[in-house]
Amino acid sequence: MEGVDHLAFERNKAQFDVDEMKIVWAGSREDFELSDRISRLVASDPVFRKDDRAALGRKELFKNTLRKAAHAWKRVIELRLSGEFSALEPEAYKLRAFVDQPAFTDLHWGMFVPAIQGQGTDEQQQKWLPLAYRMQIIGCYAQTELGHGSNVQGLETTATFDPKTDEFVIHSPTLTSSKWWPGGLGKVSTHAVVYARLIIDGQDYGVHGFIVQLRSLDDHLPLPGITIGDIGMKFGNAAYNTMDNGVLTFDHVRIPRNQMLMRVSQVTREGKYVHSNVPRQLVYGTMVYVRQKIVADASVALSRAVCIATRYSAVRRQFGSHNGGLETQVIDYKTQQSRLFPLLASAYAFRFVGEWLLWLYTDVTERLKAKDFSTLPEAHACTAGLKSLTTTATADGIEECRKLCGGHGYLCSSGLPELFAVYVPACTYEGDNIVLLLQVARHLVKTVSQLSTGNKPVGTTAYMARLEQLLQYHSDVKKAEDWLKPNVVLEAFEARAARMCVACAQNLSKFSNPEEGFQELAADLVEAAVAHCQLIVVSNVYALSLLHKHLGDFISTGCIDPKQGSLANEQLRNLYSQVRPNAVALVDAYNYTDHYLGSILGRYDGNVYPKLYEEAWKDPLNDSIVPDGFKEYIQPLLKQQLRNARL
């Protein structure tokens, strides 16, 4: 019935203060109040209606997204939420609070602006950022090409310096050099940060960033030499098709020399290449920034799916009725708990490790200003590794939440198919997850190899300094509750990671050609990198479900024995029993509106069945009792069958 809270009995079981947990989840009372205010404004604004997306064609879907993004920006200004008034969160996130579907603004604010902030000189920032902040230009991040995405050093677009005119000539020499994938590029962006090979006097200086105008600010037509369009439909129906991922080719397009982003390297008027003594990888800085943002994104996406699956698992009853009584809530089945509660814990874990990663990123950014590059490798390894770990776990977790909701999880009205379709490219964009884990593996192998030179590992590899101890380590767990001691869990995860890293390093040393060895052992190296990244999350939060899932590693590396493994599993079951009465309250703490969740199964009031039934009739297929096509195709069939039957 309307207005009844069908989950009140669950909420009354909570053993903690949900309002306090809402502040913890939001990060601060200020952040909570802002996000709460925005989400309620959005839910009550008809422009942000999203229950019609599944029925729209691509062009209407896209136009609708433009309308929403424009309205969102207008509201951000009206509510004085823009950066000038509230530095609480970069615009990208405030706008995404309004338009929670992929839109060009993600890339304008999420990549184009950060690229200029991170790689532009002060003069270039003074010129371009005010235009970008006021959205008088709209930008995208054009790095990936048809032929290369992971291998940035393999990009083929060229930027050739012409000393006669003091310009760069941007050109696409091959079909595979076509820029391909950049979000916002296909139909909206007026400018791009384009990554191209810098060529001076025939010499190739590698990949650098260039600001290039793509379209006229008068009639939005592509400028001379620019061919540009959308790359076509992507996975899912609505999903990422609200975004104009584009294709772009250059036919000798000229830009002024001062549009090469020159914070890291410069080209003088005479055509001299100047590379100040900073790591060339600073040109990758925008990717590092977004990877750390993607970890926070993972906690949001996973928590949305977990919220839906938890509330529905508390509403759904199946089997177990005695003498006509109520059937059992599926959330009471241990199998449902063993699949759902680790994801509930993961959402919180990723939320907290995302906060830590933001601290790490901010710290390395401050250090870079002082030309202190000492923590750059750690920042790269952590952002790459945690982006990979959290996006893989989240994509798998959203799919698991769909399955936890049975058949109804497969309905668009559950919100889960759309959430999955929008989320899964996160395992690929901003760096393919395997490619990034291999970067982590390189960092770990390098750390282990430097131990013998007395190099003291720092940061997240500091545990490697205790290698001898960790190689001798065997857990002294005797009873299940021993696994509740954080240091007991931490030592097991440290020992597992250390042993897997050392095993890889030892196997690598058998190869005369280190690179050949690295390729041969790549699969083992990826597993060692996963073990290291899970340790980072564990040392910030949770663990036992991971230990149970990866029990093979822990036993094969000798860190624990089978008995201790089964004690960990016993303790896990005990923890599930402790989580059970708090499950609905823990997902209420995310403070998501029904509008934001977009899920009938995840409704706050748990009033699922009447709303599911009501929603079905809205489908356009139900506009007519007899469906289009019946008279042309099916009726003749039936009549023919009827005739055959009478013969």
Ligand X SMILES: Cc1cc2nc3c(=O)[nH]c(=O)nc-3n(C[C@H](O)[C@H](O)[C@H](O)COP(=O)(O)OP(=O)(O)OC[C@H]3O[C@@H](n4cnc5c(N)ncnc54)[C@H](O)[C@@H]3O)c2cc1C
The residues annotated with a catalytic role in the active site are 430
**Residue with smaller CB distance to ligand 8Z2, 184 or 602:** 184
List 26, 99, 116, 152, residue binding ligand 8Z2 (CB under 6 A): 152
Q: Round to the nearest angstrom and report the end-to-end CA distance of the chain.
A: 54
Task: Give min distance, CB of 142 to ligand 8Z2, in A.
Answer: 9
Partner whose footprint covers residue 439, from ligand 8Z2, ligand X, none (CB < 5 to 8 Å by kind): ligand 8Z2
Output Rg (C-alpha) for the chain, integer angstroms.
27
Residue nearest to ligand 8Z2 (CB): 110
Task: Give min distance, CB of 115 to ligand 8Z2, in A.
Answer: 10
Partner whose footprint covers residue 409, from ligand 8Z2, ligand X, none (CB < 5 to 8 Å by kind): none
Partner whose footprint covers residue 169, from ligand 8Z2, ligand X, none (CB < 5 to 8 Å by kind): none
**Residue with smaller CB distance to ligand X, 340 or 424:** 424
**Residue with smaller CB distance to ligand 8Z2, 153 or 644:** 153
**Residue with smaller CB distance to ligand X, 424 or 489:** 424
Task: Give min distance, CB of 240 to ligand X, in A.
Answer: 5
**Residue with smaller CB distance to ligand 8Z2, 248 or 470:** 248
Partner whose footprint covers residue 288, from ligand X, ligand 8Z2, none (CB < 5 to 8 Å by kind): ligand 8Z2
Burial of 335 by CB count in 10 Å (0-12 exposed, 13-18 middle, 19+ buried)?
exposed
The structure tokens listed for 579 are 């989580």
**Residue with smaller CB distance to ligand 8Z2, 501 or 568:** 501
Partner whose footprint covers residue 350, from ligand X, ligand 8Z2, none (CB < 5 to 8 Å by kind): none
| Residue at 313: amino acid letter | S
Distance from C-alpha of 538 to C-alpha of 27, rounded to nearest angstrom: 19
Distance from C-alpha of 171 to C-alpha of 155, rounded to nearest angstrom: 12
Q: Is 183 annotated as a binding residue?
A: yes
Please list, in sequence order, all residues whose beta carbon lies within 8 angstroms of the beta carbon of residue 316, skipping any fewer than 6 positions away: 329, 330, 331, 405, 406, 608
Q: Does residue 15 belong to the site contacting ligand 8Z2 (CB under 6 A)?
A: no
Partner whose footprint covers residue 434, from ligand X, ligand 8Z2, none (CB < 5 to 8 Å by kind): ligand X
Distance from C-alpha of 647 to C-alpha of 496, rounded to nearest angstrom: 76
DSSP 43-96: HT-GGG--TTGGG--HHHHHHHHHHHHHHHHHHHHHTT-STTT-TTS-HHHHHH
For residue 338, the tally of other CB atoms under 10 A from its CB is 15
Q: Does residue 431 belong to the site contacting ligand 8Z2 (CB under 6 A)?
A: yes
**Residue with smaller CB distance to ligand X, 150 or 374:** 150
Q: Does residue 440 belong to the site contacting ligand 8Z2 (CB under 6 A)?
A: no
Distance from C-alpha of 507 to C-alpha of 516, rounded to nearest angstrom: 12
Could you tell me how many residues make up the chain? 647
DSSP 335: H
Stretch that binds ligand 8Z2, among 212-220, 391-399, 426-434, 551-559 (CB under 6 A): 426-434
Residue nearest to ligand X (CB): 149
Task: Give min distance, CB of 436 to ligand 8Z2, in A.
Answer: 7
Q: Does residue 140 belong to the site contacting ligand 8Z2 (CB under 6 A)?
A: no
Partner whose footprint covers residue 353, from ligand X, ligand 8Z2, none (CB < 5 to 8 Å by kind): none
Stretch that binds ligand 8Z2, among 147-155, 162-170, 460-468, 587-595 (CB under 6 A): 147-155
**Residue with smaller CB distance to ligand 8Z2, 188 or 315:** 188
Distance from C-alpha of 387 to C-alpha of 393, rounded to nearest angstrom: 10
Q: Which residues of 4-18 are buried (b: 16+ CB within 10 A; e: fewer)?
A: eebbeebeeebeeeb
Task: Give min distance, CB of 404 to ligand 8Z2, in A.
Answer: 27
Stretch that binds ligand 8Z2, among 31-39, 372-380, 408-416, 538-546 (CB under 6 A): 372-380
Question: Using CB under 6 A as the criterion, what x/- string covers residues 78-97 for binding ligand 8Z2?
Answer: --------------x-----
Q: Does residue 104 belong to the site contacting ligand 8Z2 (CB under 6 A)?
A: no
List 290, 422, 424, 502, residue binding ligand 8Z2 (CB under 6 A): 290
171 pairs with which residues across the strands? 158
Task: Give min distance, CB of 405 to ligand X, in A.
Answer: 25
List 429, 463, 592, 596, residue binding ligand 8Z2 (CB under 6 A): 429
DSSP 574-623: HHHHHHGGGHHHHHHTT---HHHHT-STT-TT--HHHHHHHHHTTSGGGG
Owner of token pair 């699949």: 339
List 100, 145, 430, 494, residue binding ligand 8Z2 (CB under 6 A): 430
Interface residues with ligand X (CB under 6 A) are 107, 141-144, 149-150, 181-183, 240, 245, 425, 428-429, 431-432, 434-435, 438, 522
Secondary structure string (H, E, C) spanning 127-157: HHHHHHHCCCCCEEEECCECCCCCCHHHCCC
Q: Does residue 287 belong to the site contacting ligand 8Z2 (CB under 6 A)?
A: yes
Q: What are phi and psi of 262, to 5 degrees?
A: -115, 25
Q: Does residue 439 belong to the site contacting ligand 8Z2 (CB under 6 A)?
A: yes
Q: Does residue 442 belong to the site contacting ligand 8Z2 (CB under 6 A)?
A: yes
Q: Does residue 281 belong to the site contacting ligand 8Z2 (CB under 6 A)?
A: yes
Task: Give min distance, CB of 428 to ligand X, in A.
Answer: 5
**Residue with smaller CB distance to ligand X, 245 or 336:** 245
Distance from C-alpha of 641 to C-alpha of 433, rounded to nearest angstrom: 55
List 101, 125, 144, 172, residue binding ligand 8Z2 (CB under 6 A): 144
Q: Does residue 240 belong to the site contacting ligand 8Z2 (CB under 6 A)?
A: no
Q: Does residue 156 belong to the site contacting ligand 8Z2 (CB under 6 A)?
A: no
Distance from C-alpha of 604 to C-alpha of 518, rounded to nearest angstrom: 50
Is 101 within 8 Å of 238 (Cβ atoms)?
yes
Distance from C-alpha of 25 to C-alpha of 350, rounded to nearest angstrom: 11
Partner whose footprint covers residue 480, from ligand X, ligand 8Z2, none (CB < 5 to 8 Å by kind): none
Distance from C-alpha of 529 to C-alpha of 434, rounded to nearest angstrom: 10
Angle of helix 285-315 relative to helix 334-369, nearest 10 degrees, comes to: 160
Alpha-carbon torsion (503, 508, 511, 517), positive or negative: positive
Grouping H, G, I as helix, E, B as strand and the rest as coil, residue 196 is strand
- In angstroms, the Cα distances linking 151 to 140, 385, 469, 644 are 20, 17, 38, 64
Residue numbering of the annotated binding site: 144, 183
Residue numbering of the annotated binding site for FAD: 144, 183
List interacting residues with ligand 8Z2 (CB under 6 A): 92, 106, 110, 141, 143-144, 149-153, 183, 281, 284, 287-288, 290, 293, 376-377, 380, 429-431, 435, 439, 442, 446
